[in-house]
Amino acid sequence: MYFVILSFTRIGMDYEKILVTGAGGQLGSVLVEALKIKFGQDAVIASDLNPIKNYTGIYEQLDVTDKARLEQIVKENKVTQIYHLAAILSAKGEQNPLLTWDINMKTLFNVLEVSVEEKVNKVFYPSSIAVYGDMAPKTDTAQTDFLNPSTVYGISKASGENWGQYYFLKYGLDVRSLRYPGVIGYQSLPGGGTTDYAVEIYHKAVKEEAFECYLKPDAMLPMIYMEDTIRATLELMDAPKDAITVRTSYNLQGMSFTPEQITANIKKYYPNFKVSYKPDFRQTIAENWPSSLNDEQARQDWGWKPKYDLDAMTRDMLMQLTKQYNLVTQ
């Protein structure tokens, strides 16, 4: 990933002070490292509910439902940007819907309110394909297609998109957002999302263990590789303010595939890899989501274009995980 991030200049960025909430998660753990490379280690504050193991840099323990603590960190550090990643994800969220709603929304409101009060320049809020439901077209789902989410996670994200737009319109707060597809990366283990099978399957393959998939073989979903995810996030946040025409959340498409297709791709390298299928409640969630997204608005507004397809992602995932597990390359 670092060869992508190093292309950004640090000229004129020394004044930035960036707070990342949920920095210990699947996305946050990679994003903080990219931000440190771009802005410098002293410019980035990683925060999470629990300590981050082996983290190097500025860390603040933070429960984002505690507005006073959030305000203290922002004020004392003169924070100029907040990347608000703390949330309960789709699959975990269905196990405790009311808690998920309470945490996801309360943390967002605290971030928005503190940002207005302390004059934070920019806020990043990650949304998700979970905002769509069965009333949206399954393929090439448009930026403006109807949102009727079927999970509490999706409901909270759809609400969050609109609150972000509200704070922009009412207070001028520069809130920016991406509707992430399933994010796949080797840097950390899955965090409770419906698309997490596409991370776990690679771990099983390199360890030469059988994999039981909780989705059906033909469950087509939009996905994106972590390197593209981080690059898209930084490119969005770097774009001129007047170039941002979507103040809810931009669709972001990387690639789309099924469990059957990713298995076939892995078998090019691990021909004896065994996959079985035992669909559970996550299959029902997946059936309400798009199989591909139309991200034309992101391409037009700030030049978004993915670099990784399924083949390129599989090669890199297998190579990186083989190194992590100290295994012999296939």
For residue 191, give the nearest of 63, 36, 25 by alpha carbon.
25
Q: Which of 83, 125, 153, 186 is labelled catalytic?
A: 153
Q: 79 with 121: CB under 8 angstroms?
A: no
Here the tokens at position 273 are 């890899």
> Cα(327)–Cα(330) distance, rounded to whole angstroms?
9
3-state secondary structure of 20: strand
Here the tokens at position 212 are 């039981």
Q: 258 with 197: CB under 8 angstroms?
A: no
Kindly report the number of other CB atoms within 10 A of residue 37's CB atom. 17
By the 10 Å C-beta count (0-12 exposed, 13-18 middle, 19+ buried), 312 is classed as: middle
> Cα(256)–Cα(293) distance, rounded to whole angstroms?
9
Is 153 an annotated catalytic residue? Answer: yes
Active site residues per annotation: 153
